[in-house]
Structure 1
Amino acid sequence: MATELILLCTVAFAAGFIDAIVGGGGLLQTPAILLILPNYPVATLLGTTKIPSIAGTTLAAFKYARQVKFNYRVLAACAVTAFFAALLGAYLVSRIDNSVIKPIILVVLVFVALYTYLNKQFGIHQEKTYAVVKQVLLAGIFGLIIGFYDGLIGPGTGSFLILVFIAVLGFDFIGASAHAKIVNIATNLAAILYFSSTGHILFQYAIPMAIFNLSGAFFGTKLALLKGNKFVRVFFLIVVFGTILRFAYDILKTGV
């Protein structure tokens, strides 16, 4: 158990660091726990990762909140719908074959990477392209979609939320990251409520991982706020490309 715990805590630190900047820390943390603890049910391992995820995300959200002005109507619409959708996703996680969804995610990520790379001003400046009512409606719709995905699978949720806040709602990278963290807290909380009520959390691993995830989030948030939007854009691209490679490898390896 000691070796497994050390490996998981190391991964949790890196995941917290990445997640605080651009989201997507789960893309490192989730495959790692599936590999390191192969004898446990998938639902149990996914539930366990939610504890460190919500710890790091909460710290990052707190630090962002001190320097970012939140759009509370948009935030509430997205967070509330995402919460209930994540509950449904967590309920269904043991009833749907995740391998069916992986190829779809890979295609989406390729599109995200190309769009971000080709559009040099993407997320650099805040753009208000919609009326408030339309922003709230869109936030609620995408909250449902991404919240359901987070409860069902999880990895990459932060990156998808950031993409929506930028491409759909017109935020810059820093603002998008801040809002995404709050929504991600809601989805993680929903999943934790379900997984803990059904005994699907290994607290002996989850608590130490949470401490290391917090540490990573502290340094990641500090770096993001120090370096600004251009740095976060580059980091976002790196994480998305890494995610594409990871999903492509999984799909080719398993033949799904």
Structure 2
Amino acid sequence: MPDLSVDLILLLVAAGFAGGFVDAIAGGGGLITLPALLLAGLPPAQALGTNKVQAIFGAATAAASYAARGLVDPKTQARAAAMAGAGGMAGAALVAWLPTDLLRIVLPVVLIGVAAFFALKPGLDDLDRARRMAPALITLLVVPAVGFYDGLLGPGAGSFYMIAFVTLAGYGVLKATAHTKLLNLFSNLGGLTVFALAGQPLWLLGAAMGVAQMAGAFFGARMAMRIGSRLIKPLLVVTSTALALRLIWQML
């Protein structure tokens, strides 16, 4: 475990708040918190485990906020949540087999891809459109695949869930965002189960970041419900691009 100063811990807590805020709106909070943990000097597996601890707080808060406003019914997502959790466990189980520098190489590519989709895809708004895949197939094929990615790497998983809901289920951007939260929660829980068995997470740091995540998620969900896609799209594009450039600069 690296020797973290008080100032660095406070910066990580601030990253937790920002991650919770962004994740509740645009589904990419891990794009802030995981790079922050890596830049703080945590080994990749430990950074992933700690990131799962704090992410659960924000995902649960955002899921409850959207459900309270009637934008999603958690009962209808029970099967999909279970599939997301299983995918998260499977992905996390393979982390130990990856080269330690792989995260630093993959993350900028993922970030740029997410930013490009939301910046260039026309017609993304809060209106529902034609469905391209049956919900059962999305649950069977897409949800566990994104859950697997969430356990394996993590950042951007909420954005990938949202892309699937927009392009395949035909949801508007706000409705898609609301439907990602419970799946994000369970894929994080699945991944954390594996990391906890391996003793990887920094529990106290994760909990401190998690409390800040809850506050950020609360305010982010309320702002997203008030403004909708006019806020969600640009925030996700700007955040993803900025973090990709930051990570590339660090590697160079």
TM over 0.5: yes
Q: Is residue 2:41 matched to residue 1:26? A: no
Gap change, CA 1:73 and 1:141, over 3 Å in 2? farther
Query: What's the counterpart of residue 14 of structure 2?
Result: 10
Q: Corresponding residue for 1:64?
A: 66
Q: Which of structure 1's runs of 4+ aligned residues deviate more than 6 A?
A: 71-74
Shift of 1:149: 0.9
Task: Name the TM-score, length of structure 1 as normaliser.
Answer: 0.86
- Give the superposition deviation at 1:18: 0.8
Matched residue SS, 1:232: helix
- Residue pairs, 1:90-239, within 5 angstroms: 90-97=92-99, 99-100=101-102, 109-130=111-132, 134-239=134-239
1:199-231 residue CA offsets vs partner (Å, 9 max, x unmatched) = 112122111111111111111111111112222
Q: 1:47 aligns with which of 28, 46, 49?
A: 49
Which amino acid in the other structure matches residue 96 of structure 1? L
C-alpha displacement of 1:49: 1.4
1:88 equivalent to 2:66? Answer no
- Distance, in Å, in 1 between the alignment partners of 2:108 and 2:6 is 34
1:163-191 superposed Cα distances (whole Å, 9 cap, x missing partner) = 11111211111111111111000011111
Distance 1:29 1:69, change over 3 A: closer
Unpaired segments ≥5 residues, structure 2? none
Q: 1:105 to 1:192 in 2, by over 3 A?
A: closer
Per-residue deviation, 1:67: 2.0
5+ long unaligned stretches in structure 1: none
Q: Percent identity?
A: 31
Question: In terms of mean alpha carbon deviation, does 209-218 or 96-105 score higher?
Answer: 96-105
Give the AA of the match of 1:32. A
Task: Kindly state the Cα deviation for residue 105 of structure 1 after the two structures are TM-superposed.
Answer: 6.1
TM-score by length of 2: 0.87
Distance 1:48 1:202 in 2: 5
Contact 1:73 1:136 in 2 (8 A): no
After superposition, the Cα gap between the structure-2 partners of 1:113 and 1:44, relative to the gap in structure 1 and judged at 3 Å, is closer
Amino acid at match of 1:150: D
CA offset at residue 46 of structure 1? 1.2
Seen in structure 2, the aligned counterparts of structure 1 residues 73 and 61 have a Cα distance that, compared at 3 Å, is closer
Measured in 2, the distance between the counterparts of 1:213 and 1:97 equals: 29
Describe the superposition over 1:126-179 as per-residue Cα deviations: whole angstroms up to 9, x where unpaired: 113246xx2221232111211111111111111111111111211111111111
Give the counterpart letter for 1:17 in structure 2.
Answer: F
Letter in 1 for 2:195: F
Q: Structure 1: which amino acid aligns with 2:202?
A: L
Residues 86 and 69 of structure 1: is their aligned pair in 2 closer, same or farther, counting only changes over 3 Å?
A: same
